[in-house]
Chains A and B, each alone.
Chain A
Amino acid sequence: MPGPDRLNAPRAAPALTRVAIVLRGRDHEQAALREVLERARAGNGAALLLRGQPGAGKSALLADIAAAADDLTVLRTKGVESEAPLPFAALHRLLRPVLSHLDDVPGPQAAALRSAFGESTDDVGDRHLVFLATLNLLSGVAGDRPVLAVVDDAHWLDDASAAALLFAARRLDGEAVALLFATRDDERGSFETGDLPVLTVAGVDEGAAEALIADQVEVAVAPQVRAELLEVTGGNPLGLLELTRALSAAQLSGRDRLPDRLPLTEGVERAFLDRYRRLPAAAQALLLVAAADDSGRATTIARAAASLGADDGALDAAEESGLLEEHDGLLTLRHPLVRSAIYGAATSSRRRQAHRALADALAGTPEEDRRAWHLAASADGPDPEVVAALDEAAERARRRGGHEAAAAAWTRAAELTVDPQARAGRLLAAAGSSLAAGRPLEADRLARSALADATDPLVRSDLLQLQAQVEWNTRSGDDGYRIVCQAAATAAPYDPARARVLAMLAASLASFGARSAAAPDPTTIVPVLGPDASPEEQAADWLLTGFSAVVRDDWATAASALRRAWDIPIGPDAPAVLHHNLAIATMHLGDDERAIELHDLQLQHARDAGAVNMVEHALTRGVVFRIATGAWAEAAAAAQEAVLLDRNLGLDELVTFPLAELAVIAALRGDPQAPARLQELEAELEQHPPRGLGTPIVEGLSHWAAARQPDIAPATALHHLEQIDLPIVRGLSAIDRIETAAHAGRRELAEEWLEELGAFAEGTDMPWARAALHHCRAVLGGPDTEEEFRLALEWHARSPRVPARARTQLAWGEYLRRHRRRTDARVPLREALETFETLGAGFWAERARQELRASGETARRGADLVANELTAQESQVAGLVRQGLSNKDVAARLFISPRTVDFHLRNVYTKLGITSRTELAALTLDPT
């Protein structure tokens, strides 16, 4: 067995000469790579993907460019197929040399990265933080010296590393970072490169190929043999090298027949395999162990191979064959095709044996994850020891944010578990991790596998709930609703409290538009609540009653039940689904103040936890109510933050909601930007149509915004307003809907909508609804118009919906002026004007001003807000700096890099003609 000395002995470095040789004919590729390097040096980095067949020379090109980058910080890693279940393994190798720069990265992100690398045992929390840390760490390092990051064999990256590196690759504008990937075009794995620029590394041209062949042999090669080699290999350098080498002198000179043709990759593998088979058994065993391990760690390989009978002689023989190379204490196979050839040719039992030997060699080392996976590969059937090791590996992966790896480990553990219940439990955990990894199809498949065997009703109920969630998020809200009902019914006889929460969830889905003929009424699924029920159960029950009543338009029952639910004190440890639904129930009544309070609380928790998705949800939901109350500057800022967050983090499927909100705000203000906002929204709806349950609210808001465009014909506006289905948006837009129906000459429709509003107002007793009802009655005309205006204003005084109040004041003023009560008219008109000006509602303010002038008052010209020319992101940054946040804190809050913050802030200073944070804080800015 080789000792350390033997392994560290200096040797020739054949790799270098080979690099020089295989770079023949690569001028074009080398120039393209140098260009990427130049961009990084110039501070405007980019990513580039080298793609080609195995043996095309991608690695050689990467080595070459790295050697030309001695003025840059060069970081390297590569994908290793056997590391697929080790989360962030490849990323850790890449960033290890620069982890000392983590201090420059916002705190929560740095902590997440440390957890991801297993340097702390804290939960990573949201994986986006790891992705941001990766980007910001590279960005920070590049602040000292440009960075070249090289990722070879990217098709074999573990999923978590791949996700982080692709995230960074798409965000290198303005960073002094070049990021190069090499991938095989016959292996994709989960490395979805999508939009990255690609450099195809094809075969070399004839001249270079001939030179390559000549480099290999000393005899003259017959022209027809050379032509044959060229054709078979298509100019692939490794193919040329290996296939030429495999030929005898007689074959090369054309005297003997050439071997049968194989496709290139198989041909090269065959050539490697022939060399492998000529080696002694001990050397073969060593090579098989090296192929099964694939990490190159010499001690591990040596220890495992020794247990299979390999000695020093075996190592010598393996190296002399050229199939194995050793440098820097690493034993690596000459090329990935050597590994696939040797591993693929071994029988299953020989492979198991090699994995077992590796698992034993790793026993007692910190490499517990590797050991678990080698154990799993060595198992020929259920084995509790292996399952326990995999369970632990899964738990570690989950903590590190390696959701794909956790799913894989739990799935593998399930496959080796005899007991059906325990198996189903593991598959449930695997499905949950798949869902967290953003792989709903995979989650659904695992849940199905588990449901095929699971008999425990509570486990079945959990599995169904997970399947339902996949459905309503990605496919059909209706199917999701049906499956949640099934989950509730399954749990009901065994755990009524759980079933009640599930039935409540089902009713909540129904209240947002989900329907299924195949589902029972959720209220019938669970028995009547006993007197000794816990507060949580009571809250769930009142929500269930309330949501179900919303579905029936039974507003009186809905309002009283939801209010009862809100009145029950619930601890912070109650199920998240309960808190969540208590908050969204506020939408049904339009209880703005409670809604803003609950969603802001949620936002606070989400920010503290760095839970990106929850931050997004809380932001966008909170905006809906601020639109109603006229906190439009805050609403626009929050919606803008959500848009930036979605765009920065690639959450494209969510972005239509905040964009629809921004379009509504612009339209309500009568902002000149309104048509542009609407266009932006429509383009995005085209590209990312909302899915599942998010659809009705986005569509409702979009139609509302469309109906409130400047100079729109009443009939067109009405056409949009008629398509608003969701009661929440119908309520928000009630005044617009009814007024527009009247203007379009559709009196009967106006009456019908008025009746709907009346029923809601009557049932819920919400002041905003009563005010809107009286407003609309007044506007529609009738004997009691003045009384209706008076009542409308009385109810408005009790409602936080300020914009609606100003609308009534304006309409009341107009009415008074038309009835020649000009002095009386001025009072409501002045109030309306003031509100519209505060709201920044230019169109409405102008209307109020005109009315005031017509009533004989010289309306002061509205103070023109100084148009600040800041971009959305600059406004966000400026706003937070004005609140006293440091650049690093702003970066953490907006999920961008501190350097980007600095960049925006400098633009802000230039545009505003200031030079310091103090000046910025002292400025009066337009709130948008």
Chain B
Amino acid sequence: MMRDTPRTFVGSVVFLLQGPVCRHLVEEVPAAIRQLPGISRCRLDVAEATLTVTAESPVDRTDVVAVLDRLGCPVRIG
């Protein structure tokens, strides 16, 4: 729908990030994402510039994207 249409998800979602991804983000991004309620797992692959986020209860994608934008790690596709 529209860019800011609410979009909750459960399960795993892979985000392709705008690479190259800085090394220091390997810890920082997953730590920040895990703060969001509902997130059970989060892994950043620097080489592939992918972020895999797993939600066990509904999480809004815009919240994930907002964290990534804030940390200077914007999403390319996802």
Are A and B subunits of one complex? yes
Closest Cβ neighbor of B3 among chain A residues: A81
Given contacts A348-B60, A448-B52, is CB(A380)–CB(B8) below 8 Å? yes
Q: How many Å from the CB of B59 to the closest CB on chain A?
A: 9
Q: What is the total number of residues of chain B having a CB less than 8 Å from a CB of chain A?
A: 24
The reply to whether A343 and B2 contact each other, CB–CB distance below 8 Å, is yes
CB contact between A415 and one of B3, B9, B15 (< 8 Å): that residue: B9
The reply to whether B1 and A452 contact each other, CB–CB distance below 8 Å, is no
The reply to whether A380 and B1 contact each other, CB–CB distance below 8 Å, is no
Q: How many Å from the CB of A262 to the closest CB on chain B?
A: 19
CB contact between A373 and one of B1, B3, B15 (< 8 Å): that residue: B1
What is the bound-complex CA distance between A620 and B8, given in angstroms?
A: 47
The reply to whether A423 and B52 contact each other, CB–CB distance below 8 Å, is no
- B27 in the interface, Cβ–Cβ < 8 Å? no
Q: What is the total number of residues of chain A having a CB less than 8 Å from a CB of chain B?
A: 36
Chain A 346-378 near chain B by CB (<8 Å), digits 1 or 0: 001001100100000000000000000100111
Q: Which A310-349 residues have C-beta < 8 A from chain B?
A: 343-344, 348
What is the bound-complex CA distance between A355 and B10, given in angstroms?
A: 20
- A82 in the interface, Cβ–Cβ < 8 Å? yes
Q: Which B10-57 residues have C-beta < 8 A from chain A?
A: 10-16, 50, 52, 54, 57
The reply to whether A381 and B57 contact each other, CB–CB distance below 8 Å, is yes
The reply to whether B11 and A453 contact each other, CB–CB distance below 8 Å, is yes
- A126 in the interface, Cβ–Cβ < 8 Å? no
Among B11, B52, B57, residue most surrounded by chain A Cβ atoms (within 10 Å):
B11
The reply to whether B10 and A452 contact each other, CB–CB distance below 8 Å, is no
On chain A, the residues within 8 Å of B15 by CB distance are 445
- A379 in the interface, Cβ–Cβ < 8 Å? yes
The reply to whether A452 and B54 contact each other, CB–CB distance below 8 Å, is yes
On chain B, the residues within 8 Å of A85 by CB distance are 1
Chain A 373-404 near chain B by CB (<8 Å), digits 1 or 0: 10011111110000000000000000000000
What is the bound-complex CA distance between A381 and B50, given in angstroms?
A: 24
The reply to whether A449 and B8 contact each other, CB–CB distance below 8 Å, is no
Given contacts A379-B8, A416-B9, A452-B52, is CB(A445)–CB(B77) below 8 Å? yes
Given contacts A348-B60, A445-B77, A452-B52, is CB(A423)–CB(B11) below 8 Å? yes
What is the bound-complex CA distance between A379 and B6, given in angstroms?
A: 8
On chain A, the residues within 8 Å of B60 by CB distance are 348
What is the bound-complex CA distance between A744 and B41, given in angstroms?
A: 65
Q: Which A706-746 residues have C-beta < 8 A from chain B?
A: none
The reply to whether B2 and A381 contact each other, CB–CB distance below 8 Å, is no
The reply to whether A415 and B13 contact each other, CB–CB distance below 8 Å, is yes
- B58 in the interface, Cβ–Cβ < 8 Å? yes
The reply to whether A449 and B6 contact each other, CB–CB distance below 8 Å, is no
Q: How many Å from the CB of A383 to the closest CB on chain B?
A: 10
Given contacts A442-B77, A445-B77, is CB(A344)–CB(B4) below 8 Å? yes
- A414 in the interface, Cβ–Cβ < 8 Å? yes
On chain B, the residues within 8 Å of A373 by CB distance are 1
On chain B, the residues within 8 Å of A446 by CB distance are 14
- A441 in the interface, Cβ–Cβ < 8 Å? yes
Closest Cβ neighbor of B50 among chain A residues: A448
On chain B, the residues within 8 Å of A348 by CB distance are 6, 60
On chain B, the residues within 8 Å of A351 by CB distance are 4-6
Closest Cβ neighbor of B55 among chain A residues: A415
- A412 in the interface, Cβ–Cβ < 8 Å? yes
What is the bound-complex CA distance between A81 and B10, given in angstroms?
A: 25
On chain A, the residues within 8 Å of B6 by CB distance are 348, 351-352, 355, 377-378, 380
The reply to whether B58 and A381 contact each other, CB–CB distance below 8 Å, is yes
Chain A 280-312 near chain B by CB (<8 Å), digits 1 or 0: 000000000000001000000000000000000
The reply to whether A82 and B2 contact each other, CB–CB distance below 8 Å, is yes
On chain A, the residues within 8 Å of B9 by CB distance are 415-416
Q: Which A434-457 residues have C-beta < 8 A from chain B?
A: 441-442, 445-446, 448-450, 452-453
The reply to whether B10 and A380 contact each other, CB–CB distance below 8 Å, is no
The reply to whether A415 and B8 contact each other, CB–CB distance below 8 Å, is yes
On chain B, the residues within 8 Å of A441 by CB distance are 16, 77
- A418 in the interface, Cβ–Cβ < 8 Å? yes
The reply to whether A453 and B54 contact each other, CB–CB distance below 8 Å, is yes
The reply to whether B4 and A412 contact each other, CB–CB distance below 8 Å, is no
On chain B, the residues within 8 Å of A294 by CB distance are 2
On chain A, the residues within 8 Å of B16 by CB distance are 441, 445
What is the bound-complex CA distance between A25 and B4, given in angstroms?
A: 35
On chain A, the residues within 8 Å of B13 by CB distance are 415, 449
- B78 in the interface, Cβ–Cβ < 8 Å? yes
The reply to whether A82 and B1 contact each other, CB–CB distance below 8 Å, is yes
Q: How many Å from the CB of A505 to the closest CB on chain B?
A: 25
- A267 in the interface, Cβ–Cβ < 8 Å? no
Closest Cβ neighbor of A85 among chain B residues: B1
The reply to whether A81 and B8 contact each other, CB–CB distance below 8 Å, is no
- A758 in the interface, Cβ–Cβ < 8 Å? no
- A84 in the interface, Cβ–Cβ < 8 Å? yes
Q: List 23 A-B contacts (CB under 8 A).
A: A84-B1, A294-B2, A343-B2, A348-B60, A377-B1, A378-B6, A380-B8, A414-B11, A415-B8, A415-B9, A415-B10, A415-B11, A416-B9, A417-B11, A420-B11, A423-B11, A445-B77, A445-B78, A448-B14, A449-B13, A449-B52, A453-B11, A453-B54
Partner-A contacts on B (CB < 8 A): 1-16, 50, 52, 54, 57-58, 60, 77-78
Please give 20 more A-B residue pairs, beta carbons under 8 A apart, in addition to A381-B58, A382-B58, A416-B9.
A81-B2, A81-B3, A84-B1, A84-B2, A294-B2, A343-B4, A351-B5, A355-B5, A377-B7, A380-B6, A380-B8, A382-B10, A417-B10, A423-B10, A445-B14, A445-B77, A448-B14, A449-B52, A450-B12, A453-B12
8 cross-chain pairs, A with B, having the tightest CB-CB distances, nearest first: A415-B9, A452-B12, A381-B58, A448-B14, A449-B14, A377-B5, A81-B2, A453-B12
